[in-house]
Structure 1
Amino acid sequence: MTEEQIANNDSMYSADSIQVLEGLEAVRKRPAMYIGDTGVKGLHHLVYEVVDNSIDEALAGYCDHIEVTINEDNSITVQDNGRGIPVDFHEKEQKSALEVVMTVLHAGGKFDKGSYKVSGGLHGVGVSCVNALSTLLVAQVARDGELFQQEYSCGIPKEAVKVVGTTDKTGTYITFHPDGSIFTTTEYKYDILATRMRELAYLNAGLTISLTDRRVKNEAGEVKKETFHSEEGLKEFVRFVDSSREKLINDVIYINTEKQGTPVEVAIMYNTSYTENIHSYVNNINTIEGGTHLAGFRRALTRTLKKYAEDAKMLEKVKVEIAGDDFREGLTAVISIKVAEPQFEGQTKTKLGNNEVMGAVDQAVGEALTNYLEEHPKEAKMIVDKVVLAATARHAARKAREMVQRKSPMSGGGLPGKLADCSDKDPERCEIFLVEGDSAGGTAKQGRNRAFQAILPLRGKILNVEKAMRHKAYESEEIRNIYTALGVTIGTEDDSQEANIEKLRYKKIIIMTDADVDGAHIDTLIMTFFFRFMPQIIQNGYLYIANPPLYLCKKGKVEEYCWTEAQRQRFIETYGGGSENAIHTQRYKGLGEMNAQQLWDTTMDPENRTLRQVTIDNAAEVDYVFSMLMGEDVGPRREFIEENATYANIDA
């Protein structure tokens, strides 16, 4: 955007740009409809909604710095150096434009094409939704040499917009206190916000985002603070995601262009692993279910690489047929596109449906990749050799996979012998526990409710799929048993490697391991398997981790299970007068140390248990963590474990 265009747009951005689509009444009644849920995810979504407004200013060319602060009382402050929300009089609503933006759902400049070409915000519910779900929100706007302010409570203005000072700056400053009567927790997690801010910095090259946590101070009394800034954007992003893998070629294949009116930015790397890792974004939204932009990318990659290899006569001696999947093995890519009116669909409304985008991405990737391959023949040969190796391995995997299919219940091959199935056959009501070892498996079989709970004992640690070729995974008995028990098939007639979960037999899959380091390792191995081989299970919300207690504390007739060291200390303070010797403590080193009734009461009974759902809120971060934890490089893994050693389990 030229300086003249920016100046013209700036003068046009006023109360008239603010369009109102609907009222706020329903937000407090049904908050989950607007922000996803009222737990940790929804709480952090409030921050993203406010930050999205500032990102929109950056996309339009008016803002290059955003500051996010977690205050001592768990309130949040977001400030930017954009133009500032208009404060002049809104004719239709008969009030200040600031009040309209802050109190009316779907009111904002992003609905006026003259103000913003594209904007983020998955649901577009905007800052008014945050306002409705906050006990107190203070909005300040630096604009036209003055500092304007308005305060709200639960979305209702406490006063009219007023001038509270003068300033030579521009921008918007929002401070909000989430409503504890709506959210199950109001405690912000620094790491969750840091992950998203880092991602936004990569997706918006040149933008600086700082995150400050005033709740945490070091010995010198300095608060915790990180600044995220990326000059190279997606190039740096794909290097970060791939940093734990061995590179096949050192180059990042980078594309930044506009096709058919759609800005397309892509960064590609190849590594020596056996998995495909593609992370796609639309207007900064992580489209974890993919969509038309991903389809366009895959189509272009397969077509272009195949044509190059055939023209260079590299496939003449290859005895196996090469399929689309082979071209993407060992590929890591980040795709970021901007769409004026995105249409989202799918289970979590994170799948792009705009048909016109497919052709735009296909054209952009095809042209750029053709140029790269012609200009880099050495790297091109390494990529094609990797593709041929993948095709050869896939043919070996097909034989191993057919062994899985033959044992599948849908093929009449029966269920695994170790599986204790439940009597109910409705997947919506059924759950399966993947349990470490025969001993704990036996206890779980005795303690379960046979009507809807199935038990599959696993022998020791399952194969680390991060470091194994696919056919090795299919040859593993424990992995075959998981596929067979779940009723999941792999691949179709077109030789795809994708899991088919249409006939999934359980809609709750619960990993139940010991509450120790070995248990945490097994949790991570199983989560890695699902993330790499059956991501749909996680995307649909079917994967959980059981949470067994660490201790049983007794004093006289008083008994209490404790899941954390802090809970045990509280019991000692309450019933032992602070003396550990006055309390009898049983430490559960493994599930097998509990009897069947104890295991049911604490870990399996739906009325009393605590399950932790495994989610993929940020696929790129999860990809990086799994490749780092389960890969070859020891250094980053040791550092991660030391930083997170206080957690009993590592949760995605």
Structure 2
Amino acid sequence: MAANVQYTEDSIKSLDWKEHIRLRPGMYIGKLGDGSAQDDGIYVLVKEILDNSIDEHMMGHGKTIEVKISEHKVEIRDYGRGIPLGKVIDCVSKINTGGKYDSGAFQKSVGLNGVGTKAVNALSESFMVQSFREGESKVALFQKGELIEDRKVEKTSERNGTKIVFSPDASVFKNYHFIPEYLENQIWNYAFLNSGLTINFNGVKFYSQNGLLDLLDRKVDEDSRRYPIIHLKGTDIEIALTHSNQYGEEYYSFVNGQFTTQGGTHLAAFRESIVKSVREFFKKDYDASDIRQSVVAAIAVRVQEPVFESQTKTKLGSHSVGPDGPTLRTFVNDFVKVELDNYLHKHPDTANALLKRILQSERERKEISGIKKLANERAKKANLHNKKLRDCRVHYDDNKADTELKDGTMLFITEGDSASGSITKSRNVQTQAVFSLRGKPLNCYSMTKKVVYENEEFNLLQHALNIEDGIEGLRYRKIVIATDADVDGMHIRLLIMTYFLQFFPDLVKNGHLYILDTPLFRVRNKKETIYCYTDEERQRAINKLGKTAEITRFKGLGEISPEEFGGFIGEDIRLEPIILNKETKIADLLGFYMGKNTPNRQTFIIDNLKIEKDIVFDDPGVKTTEEETETV
């Protein structure tokens, strides 16, 4: 049949700008998501509008930005120059229309292509733009990119600037919700990179005086720093670094105020230059891994016309600092080489503390080298017929794979054959892998990394994720702990989280660890079935389906049929991210929950104890299954 289709002029279609954005949103804002990941589309929408306000501030116009974000509405007001009133509609609805193409006006701005605001407009259920300029104001209203109201210019007493209010389109971002911690991190980054700028977010003031020094001060608890934070600034470059007591490497990299979550040329050069500078200072060829082990650092550069590897600007490509300048790699290397060397000469106490950290890492590496070699040989043999891992076809570290598919990759960590079986049968084999635990894993709190190699299960999990040498080669975008919501399941969940927090904290801090949320109840009648994740949802379902509805309380993942499970890990999957706040001290957290029993923890458990009989079905008219009556 297909061979008979005529290929004529009618076959060629030109999409309207908003139709193209709505048809291929991933090209403009990356993945869609529901807000459970920090790089989901709804946060990119916020970023695209904020970037314009930040660029105005960088040009010397406006020291304050007001941001209000509720469950489904975003409002951003800056005090820059305001969009020229005659171009308000064009600036938010015509591709390649903007004020940043003349590099003299915006030498080192965040966004250059004039697409961001238009993408927000096209992907919003409602979008309002208002410009205040020299005593006059202009308002335009849109729905899904379509202009619905073009108001006349009116007089105003408000200060110059731009106000944009939008609500993401729920048909594009299904079941979306904003997570406050992600928004706060996003706004803090803007504050750190723009000293002197005040952002008022939902009534809270975000302000930084010391840039990246403040960023690291917020990220690294003072007790775990091996030496005071090194903070160095130059023309178009700023760095901050210290070493901590945690495992792994942790970096925050920025280009022209943009948080490049996937790094790029500037970060690669920075990691390389730290090693070179330290070796030259101590005049000893230390192993690169020993120098960088436990480093926490940040770098921000400003370059003309940066080349990013995607529209969402998460990874910087390679290019020069300016039209006639050195390569970015050379620029970063030269700065770090001179400035870090000078700093260490002027601060011998810091240099000594740094050397002690390097020597400690060297000792630890040599201590486990023997067991590491044997463990890796075992892992290679196991990988040939690894019964623990049911792998998927696409991986997060595959540069040739489609970006949208890579972002959808996830590894489910399950316990028990029945749960593993249900997920394995119902998963998407393209992007979803399953790692099966044989029981409760070891409590590795306070142990050294040697245990990762001594414990076969931990070692196989490390290899499945490909994180032995850092998270750059991570094979899955999301690591999902899928255990029963009972006491044993919660304990296994804590043990797995302890493993990651103890040995791979950067994996958690970079937003890769999640808990799978599965329904507690199934409410159904002959016409409809509703799955409920909370008691409130169960009550709403009963009200909708009537008193004769049948209710099933799920005891564990293993009893949910593969057909049903497919609905819980597909398009409507619910994931709860593991988020570490500034106040979260990993050592204290693990010590309290996973250390030896203490009177404090005993008191905490008693104070927070909820007896299962509290969850009762107090409506005698509701029909329940025998299974559920036994459980509740």
TM range (shorter): 0.7 to 0.9
| Contact 1:462–1:478 (CA under 8 A) maintained in structure 2 | no
Give the aligned partner of residue 216 of structure 2: 238
Give the aligned partner of residue 459 of structure 1: 439
Given the alignment of the two structures, is residue 301 of structure 1 paired with residue 267 of structure 2, yes or no? Answer: no
Give the aligned partner of residue 228 of structure 1: 206
Identify the range of structure 1 (516-525 vs 59-68) with the bigger mean alpha-carbon deviation. Answer: 516-525
Q: Which residue, 586, 590, 606 being the options, matches 1:628? A: 586
Q: Which residue, 449, 457, 467 being the options, matches 1:470? A: 449
Q: Which residue, 341, 348, 372 being the options, matches 1:377? A: 348
1:328 counterpart letter in structure 2: R
Give SS of 1:111's match.
coil
Q: Which residue, 603, 624, 627 being the options, matches 2:565? A: 603
In structure 2, the CA distance between the partners of 1:530 and 1:49, relative to structure 1 (3 Å rule), is farther
Give the aligned partner of residue 84 of structure 1: 82
Give the aligned partner of residue 361 of structure 1: 332
| Contact 2:375–2:459 (CA under 8 A) maintained in structure 1 | yes
In structure 2, the CA distance between the partners of 1:625 and 1:456, relative to structure 1 (3 Å rule), is farther
Give the aligned partner of residue 344 of structure 1: 308
2:291 counterpart letter in structure 1: F
Given the alignment of the two structures, is residue 254 of structure 1 paired with residue 231 of structure 2, yes or no? Answer: yes
In structure 2, the CA distance between the partners of 1:246 and 1:330, relative to structure 1 (3 Å rule), is same
**Residue deviations 1:537-562, cap 9 Å, x none?**
x89x8x87543332456899998653
1:628 offset after TM fit, Å?
3.4
Tell me the matched-pair count: 555
1:42 offset after TM fit, Å?
1.7
Structure 2 portions without partners, runs of 5+: 1-15, 35-39, 320-326, 396-404, 611-632
For 2:477 and 2:268, the matched residues in 1 are separated by 28
| Contact 2:375–2:456 (CA under 8 A) maintained in structure 1 | no
1:239 offset after TM fit, Å?
0.8
1:264 counterpart letter in structure 2: I
| Contact 2:138–2:154 (CA under 8 A) maintained in structure 1 | yes
Give SS of 1:351's match.
coil
In structure 2, the CA distance between the partners of 1:173 and 1:329, relative to structure 1 (3 Å rule), is same
**RMSD of aligned residue pairs (Cα, Å):** 4.3
Identify the range of structure 1 (603-612 vs 393-402) with the bigger mean alpha-carbon deviation. Answer: 603-612
Give SS of 1:174's match.
strand
**Residue deviations 1:36-90, cap 9 Å, x none?**
2343322232221111100111111212100112368x33221011111122xxx
| Contact 1:208–1:228 (CA under 8 A) maintained in structure 2 | yes
Identify the range of structure 1 (78-87 vs 561-570) with the bigger mean alpha-carbon deviation. Answer: 561-570
Give SS of 1:56's match.
helix
Give the aligned partner of residue 332 of structure 1: 296
Q: Which residue, 30, 36, 56 being the options, matches 2:24? A: 30
2:73 counterpart letter in structure 1: S
In structure 2, the CA distance between the partners of 1:529 and 1:414, relative to structure 1 (3 Å rule), is farther
1:518 counterpart letter in structure 2: H
Give SS of 1:176's match.
strand
Given the alignment of the two structures, is residue 444 of structure 1 paired with residue 434 of structure 2, yes or no? Answer: no
In structure 2, the CA distance between the partners of 1:346 and 1:322, relative to structure 1 (3 Å rule), is farther
2:210 counterpart letter in structure 1: E
In structure 2, the CA distance between the partners of 1:397 and 1:624, relative to structure 1 (3 Å rule), is farther
1:447 offset after TM fit, Å?
7.8
| Contact 1:83–1:171 (CA under 8 A) maintained in structure 2 | yes
Give SS of 2:165's match.
strand
| Contact 2:65–2:200 (CA under 8 A) maintained in structure 1 | yes
Give the aligned partner of residue 39 of structure 1: 33
| Contact 1:280–1:334 (CA under 8 A) maintained in structure 2 | yes
1:245 offset after TM fit, Å?
5.6
In structure 2, the CA distance between the partners of 1:348 and 1:488, relative to structure 1 (3 Å rule), is farther
For 1:140 and 1:499, the matched residues in 2 are separated by 43
Give SS of 1:511's match.
strand
Given the alignment of the two structures, is residue 138 of structure 1 paired with residue 100 of structure 2, yes or no? Answer: no
Give the aligned partner of residue 405 of structure 1: 376
* Sequence identity (%): 28
Given the alignment of the two structures, is residue 154 of structure 1 paired with residue 144 of structure 2, yes or no? Answer: yes
Give the aligned partner of residue 102 of structure 1: 92
Structure 1 portions without partners, runs of 5+: 1-21, 88-95, 213-224, 316-320, 491-496, 647-652
In structure 2, the CA distance between the partners of 1:448 and 1:389, relative to structure 1 (3 Å rule), is closer
In structure 2, the CA distance between the partners of 1:481 and 1:135, relative to structure 1 (3 Å rule), is closer
Give the aligned partner of residue 172 of structure 2: 182
1:83 counterpart letter in structure 2: R
For 1:298 and 1:432, the matched residues in 2 are separated by 28
Identify the range of structure 1 (526-535 vs 471-480) with the bigger mean alpha-carbon deviation. Answer: 526-535
For 1:129 and 1:522, the matched residues in 2 are separated by 42
Give the alignment's TM-score, normalised by structure 1.
0.73
Given the alignment of the two structures, is residue 482 of structure 1 paired with residue 461 of structure 2, yes or no? Answer: yes
Give the alignment's TM-score, normalised by structure 2.
0.75
Give the aligned partner of residue 19 of structure 1: none
| Contact 2:261–2:314 (CA under 8 A) maintained in structure 1 | yes
**Residue deviations 1:432-458, cap 9 Å, x none?**
64223xxx3355348853996765224
1:207 offset after TM fit, Å?
0.8
1:383 offset after TM fit, Å?
0.7
In structure 2, the CA distance between the partners of 1:478 and 1:170, relative to structure 1 (3 Å rule), is same
